[in-house]
Amino acid sequence: MNNELTAVYFMWKREIIRFFRSKSRLIGSFGMPFFFLAIVGSGLGGAFNLPGMQGNYMGFIAPGIIGMVVLFGSIFSGVMVIMDRQFGFLKETMVAPVSRTSIVIGKAIGGATTAVIQGIIMIFIAMILGVNITVSAIPLAIAFMFFISVAFVLLGIAIASTMEDMHGFQLVMNLLVMPLFFLSGAIFPLSSAPDIIRYIGYTDPLTYAVEALRYLLIGYSEISLEVSAAVIGIFLLISGSLAVYLFNRIES
Amino acid sequence: MQAIRTEKITKKFGRLKAVDDVSVQVEEGEVFGLLGPNGAGKTTLISMLVTLKKPNSGNGTVNGFDIVKNPSEVRKSIGIVFQDSSVDDELTAYENLDIHAAMYGVPEKERKKRINEVIKLVELSDRMNDVVKTFSGGMRRRLEIARGLLHYPKILFLDEPTLGLDPQTRKHIWEYIERMKKEHKITVVLTTHYMDEADLLCDRIAIIDHGKIIALDTGEKLKDMLGGDVITVTSEHSSKLKSRLKGVKWVKEAKEHNGKLTIRVDKGERKIAEVVGIAKDNKIDIKAINLRRPTLDDVFLHFTGRTIREEEASGKERMRKRIASMRGRR
């Protein structure tokens, strides 16, 4: 048991070391969300008026962009399993005398830690850009970010476990991550979207993370915090079971 | 107790039997070599022993632990150096070793001491805190050997330990292997398709081809098995010479491949003149001729009709053909 905890800790540590070592990747990962917030946020601001919400469009999308940063960071972290396979390190973990479940847990917590750090930095960027954020709610927002992030890393691991090489990587990014982001109500309110978009949006787990962040940080939401927490919890259980099951089946 | 024992172990990929009904024993403390061309099944056999792949049938034990029923105990008791790099490029040598030691249950207090110890053995102490990305192929391999030793395994598996390395690094790695055997009494199982490597390092050698072990003994005995000497003739008409030599009673065996004729004889220093004589009588031009003791390559040639060197170049190609022919038959 002790050995398993050590393995979780070291898998976590590995993610952290790698995260802080690749500074260019870290800085690069803020490019897109920054421009989204600064340019789309202010550019569309004038043409956009939300009933029942004071403040501007930038304030509305800020939690959505924070959610996007967490989503991208998490999925990327999980899908890195493909890179580990490509560069051989996966083999080293596969033959270690620890359970693969511990490896998955360590990776998930490690990946989530790095994604949440990016999310926190994004909160500060939003504040600098003039978004009015409820500072006292930040700790609870971080907790929400962490759980949705763990769930997305696990989803990434689950998908990566079924892939042989890096070719699938782009596929995941275009066919999974982008729709997850656009359907989450991050940049427009789902309530005013056409029915079909709205219903699909409600099946997107990121919707609930964005709603929770919006409620906590901006004080506006269409879905209650309790419902969001419950949905994120269920999603975490599903993606976790899937990741453990699929990662255990890898034969290298 | 034997370090490794397998009984009729088989691994199939589709209809291809990569390892076919192999029963083999490795004694404690010996350096055991698996020699064969690429695609012969060496790596697959090792993969099963280190619990990375499950056999389709048959069973095996490593350090007394069943490789299917008790993989965790097997893993704790062995060290592995893979054919392809399996270190994390973005971590330093020290970090790579630290993670490994931790996952193999080396207590925290002892980790640093052991890391220093193994990294010294492979002469990388001065590069300990450098990111592995900056290492050359040889340095990586040395780091992986150090890592394989970190948890004091009873058996060390080395899959093609010197593949693609320069001669100097190869020599270094041979030295480490010999030192490990002598000083730590570790059992070493290595795969290779270099005959000199197998000959020099291994106490016993199993020659493997098409998933089967076709000969197993010490290097000396394998070579003695052929007996006598080997005369190699290079000529444009080597097949003609071969047919002329067919009835000659002192010719034990004559095999032709790649324009070269390999003749096994006793007392080669006398027969070489006779071979030249026969060639002259038949107006066959000899480009080159030499005499030597049999090598493992001759042993391989004797059993398979091919040389490992020929196989080496076309190993992957051959594996592809083997698979393709399996598919075609379906």
If asked whether residues B172 and B272 sit together in one domain, one would say: no
> Do B108 and B192 fall into the same domain?
yes
Domain membership of residue B260 as a residue range: 228-293
Label residues B56-89 b or e (16+ Cβ within 10 Å = b): eebebbbbebebeeebebbbbbbbbbbbebbbbb
Cβ-Cβ contacts under 8 Å, A3 against chain B: 103, 105
Rounded alpha-carbon distances, angstroms, from residue B127 to A13, A107, B94, B124, B195: 21, 27, 9, 5, 32
pLDDT tens by residue, B95-148:
999 999 999 989 989 999 999 989 988 889 999 999 999 999 889 999 999 999
Specify whether B271 is located in the same domain as B188: no
Chain B residues close to A252, C-beta within 8 Å: 52
Contact indicator for A153, A244 with CB cutoff of 8 Å: no
- Interchain proximity B103–A96, CB inside 8 Å: yes
Cα–Cα distance measured from residue A209 to residue A74, given in angstroms and rounded to the nearest whole number? 13
What confidence category does residue B324 fall into, taking pLDDT thresholds of 50, 70 and 90? low
Nearest CA in chain A to B99: A10
Query: Would you list the DSSP string of B31-45?
Result: EEEEE--TTSSHHHH
From chain A, the residues in CB contact with B104 under 8 A are 96-97
Length of chain A: 252
Say what the ipTM of the complex is: 0.88
The tokens of B292 are what? Answer: 């030597």
Q: Which DSSP letter does residue B131 get?
A: B
For each of chain A's 252 residues, which pLDDT tens digit applies?
578 999 999 999 999 999 999 888 788 888 888 888 888 888 877 776 666 555 678 888 999 999 999 999 999 999 889 889 888 899 899 889 999 999 999 999 999 999 999 999 999 999 998 888 899 999 999 999 999 999 999 999 999 999 887 787 788 778 899 999 999 989 888 888 899 999 999 999 999 999 999 999 988 888 999 999 999 999 999 999 999 999 998 875
Q: Phi then psi for B151, rounded to 5 degrees? A: -100, 25
Of B243, B236, B255, which is closest to residue B299 (Cα–Cα)?
B255
Which one, of A180, A185, A188, A187, lies nearest residue A151 by Cα? A180
Tell me the shortest Cα–Cα distance from A22 to chain B, in angstroms: 9
Is the separation of the CB atoms in B210 and B260 below 8 Å? no
What is the reported pLDDT for B322?
58
Chain A residues closer than 8 Å to B82 by CB:
88, 91
pTM of the model: 0.84
B218 and B263 both lie in a single domain: no
User: Does residue B327 belong to any structural domain of this protein?
Assistant: no
Q: Are residues B244 and B209 in the same domain?
A: no
User: Per-residue pLDDT tens for A180-191?
Assistant: 999 998 988 888
Answer whether residue B314 is part of any domain: no
Residue A97 tokens read as: 């005398």
Give one DSSP letter per residue of A35-100, joined into a string.
HIIIIIHHHHHTT---TT--S-HHHHHHHHHHHHHHHHHHHHHHHHHHHHHHTSHHHHHHSSSS-H
- Across B39-61, average pLDDT: 90
Query: What H or E segment, with its residue span, contains residue B5?
Result: strand B4-13
Residue B329 — very low, low, confident or very high, per pLDDT cuts 50/70/90?
very low
Residue B61 pairs in a beta bridge with B5, B66
Rounded CA Rg of chain B: 23
pLDDT-based confidence at residue B74 (cuts at 50, 70, 90): very high
Tokens of B68: 């299917």
- Total structural domains in chain B? 2
Higher local confidence (pLDDT), B84 or B4: B4
In the predicted model, what is the mean pLDDT of residues B43-52? 91
Q: What is the largest CA-CA distance in chain B?
A: 78
Q: Compare A120 and B83 and report the one with higher pLDDT.
A: A120
Least confident of A144-158, B64-78, B314-328: B314-328
Helix axes A138-161, A100-128, angle to 10 degrees: 130
What CATH number is attached to the domain comprising B232? 3.30.70.980
Q: What is the spatial distance between Cα A11 and Cα A19, in angstroms, rounded to a whole number?
A: 12
Query: Is A97 in contact with B100 (Cβ distance < 8 A)?
Result: no
Whether residue B239 sits in one domain with residue B186: no
Nearest beta carbon to residue B103 from set A7, A17, A87: A7
Task: Classify B28 as helix, strand or coil.
Answer: coil
Nearest to B217 by CA among B198, B231, B238, B237: B198
Write the CB contacts of A164 (distance below 8 Å, at least 6 apart in sequence). A85
Please answer yes or no on whether A91 and B82 come within 8 Å at the CB atom.
yes
**Cα–Cα distance between B102 and B76 in angstroms, integer?**
12
In a domain, B302, yes or no: no
Buried-exposed string B161-180: b where 16+ CB fall within 10 A, e elsewhere: bbbebeeebbebbbebbeeb
Are B261 and B235 a contacting pair, CB within 8 Å?
A: yes
How many whole angstroms separate alpha carbon B160 and alpha carbon B201? 13
Which of A:84-143 have CB within 8 Å of B? 87-98
Claim to verify: residue B161 and residue B191 sit in the same structural domain: yes
Task: In whole angstroms, give the CA distance from residue A48 to residue B163.
Answer: 64
Confidence of residue B58 (pLDDT cuts 50, 70, 90): very high
Residue B5, CB half-sphere, CA atoms under 13 Å: how many? 8
Query: In this structure, are B273 and B132 located in the same domain?
Result: no
| Structural domain contains residue B80 | yes
Residue B17 falls within a domain, yes or no?
A: yes
Handedness of CA B137, B141, B142, B146 (dihedral sign): positive
Q: How far is CA B253 from CA B13, B96, B290, B309, in A?
A: 36, 53, 16, 20
A200 interfaces chain B, CB cutoff of 8 Å? no
End-to-end CA distance of chain A: 25
Task: Please check whether residue B214 lies inside any domain of the structure.
Answer: yes
Question: Does residue A18 sit at the B interface (CB-CB below 8 Å)?
Answer: yes
Give all strands (DSSP E) within B131-284, no chain letters. 155-159, 187-192, 204-209, 212-217, 229-234, 253-257, 260-265
Q: By the 8 A CB rule, do B103 and B76 touch? A: no
**Whether residue B75 is found in the same domain as residue B174:** yes
B232 in the same domain as B125: no
Q: Average per-residue pLDDT in chain A?
A: 90
Q: Which residue of B has its CA nearest to A84?
A: B88
pLDDT digits (tens, 9 = 90+) for B195-244: 888 888 999 999 998 899 988 999 888 888 877 888 888 888 888 888 88
What CATH number does residue B193 fall under?
A: 3.40.50.300
CB B198 within 8 A of CB B48: no
> Do residue B122 and residue B270 come from a single domain?
no
Which tokens go with B262?
A: 């390999």
Q: What is the mean pLDDT of residues B261-284?
A: 85
* C-alpha to C-alpha distance for B100 and A213, rounded to whole angstroms: 39
CA A224 to CA A8: how far, in whole Å? Answer: 34
Beginning with the edge strand found earlier in the chain, give each strand of the sheet holding B204-209 in spatial order: B78-81, B155-159, B187-192, B31-35, B204-209, B212-217
Q: Which of B162, B192, B222 is the last residue of a domain?
A: B222
Q: Is the pLDDT of residue B330 over 50?
A: no
Alpha carbons within 13 A on the beta-carbon side of B293? 8
So what's the pLDDT on residue A121?
Answer: 93
Q: What per-residue confidence (pLDDT) applies to A2?
A: 79
In the three-class reduction of DSSP (H, G, I as helix; E, B as strand; rest coil), residue B64 is classed as coil
Please provide the average confidence, as pLDDT, over all residues in chain B.
86
| Distance in angstroms (rounded) separating the CA atoms of residues A172 and A160 | 9
Q: pLDDT at residue B311 above 70? A: no
Q: Do A87 and B89 lie within an 8 Å CB cutoff?
A: yes
Nearest to B84 among A22, A88, A98 (CB): A88
Chain A residues with CB inside 8 Å of B52's CB?
91, 94-95, 251-252
More confident residue, B183 or B95: B95
Q: Do B46 and B194 fall within a single domain?
A: yes
pLDDT of residue B264: 86
Indicate the pLDDT class of residue B313, thresholds 50, 70 and 90. low
